[in-house]
Amino acid sequence: MPFVHRTVYMPAVLPLRSLSGLSDDDLVALARGRDEQAVRELTTRYNRRLFRLARGILLNDAEAEDVVQEAYVRAFTGLSGFRGDSAFGTWITRIAMNEALGRRRRRRPMSEWTPETEQRLAASVIPFPLTKSLQDPERTMAERELRELIEHSIDELPDAFRLAFIARDVEGLSIEEAAAVLGVRPETVKTRVHRARRRLRVEIERRLGPGFAAAFPFDGVRCQRMTDAVLARLAGNDSSGRASNT
């Protein structure tokens, strides 16, 4: 049966925030009755996880968004198939990952990365604090460049390492949760995350290495300003010395 809006008759309108304390199981029970607010709460809880993992498979923001939407449609129109054998979060994540894997198998090899995708890096894989960023354009640009460096380095990891790293370190799932989502043993998750971290460290150091030599520049205006200040102080000392000797 198509998932359509259904008015829920209640004594008062239930604010969305009042559902935030409910468990996934309680929300799923409400969603079975076509409760729109319960669906909103569930999607809010899992949007980021599904997007990040889908993008980890497809390396494409727009396709990842489509995958997340399709996963939700499939899940909420097929809740009768959810028996609770696993957590709802694991179930919906596996749906999204299977959809992403299916799309990757069907698409042409050269369609993974486009200039349009490069311009749509709105979703941060690695979030940064926003302190002073809005008032400091240079800081904002530096954070964006560093984030893009990390994102591209993650994209270049082998698939298995990339998904384990995103699940564990980016999304913050426990070893057991990541194992359930990825369908592997916890020991396998640990091994893949360790190898992903090592590869990322090597790759980021390789890319940043040439930039270290240019850190804290003292050429140009800064160099001239420092030189002028030193000469002015020396001149002042010399004048004081001559004055005291006369």
Secondary structure (DSSP) of 175-232: HHHHHHHHTS-HHHHHHHHHHHHHHHHHHHHHHHHHHHTTSS--SHHHHHHHHHHHHH
Looking at the fold, whether 144 and 98 belong to one and the same domain comes out as: no
Residues 137 and 70 in one domain: no
Question: From the centroid of its chain, how far is CA 22?
Answer: 25
Domain count of the chain? Answer: 2
- Residue 201 and residue 169 share a domain: yes
Contact 181/97 with Cβ under 8 angstroms? Answer: yes
- Residues 57, 60: Cα–Cα separation, whole Å: 8
Q: What is the DSSP letter of 123?
A: S
Predicted local confidence at residue 210, as pLDDT: 63
User: Among 59, 22, 52, which residue's Cα sits nearest to residue 38?
Assistant: 22
Answer yes or no: do 135 and 184 share one domain: yes
> Domain range spanning residue 160?
129-209
Give the model's pLDDT for residue 41: 93
Residue type, 41: E
Looking at the structure, tell me whether residues 146 and 178 fall in a common domain: yes
User: Do residue 60 and residue 103 come from a single domain?
Assistant: yes
What confidence score (pLDDT) does residue 113 get?
A: 41
Asked whether residue 162 is domain-assigned, the answer is yes
Give the pLDDT confidence score for residue 219 in this predicted structure.
60
Cα distance between residue 54 and residue 174, in whole Å:
19
Does a structural domain hold residue 32? Answer: yes
Q: Which residue positions in the chain have pLDDT lower than 70?
A: 1-17, 108-136, 210-222, 238-246
**Residue 80: predicted pLDDT:** 87
Tell me if 163 is assigned to some domain: yes
What is the reported pLDDT for 220?
65
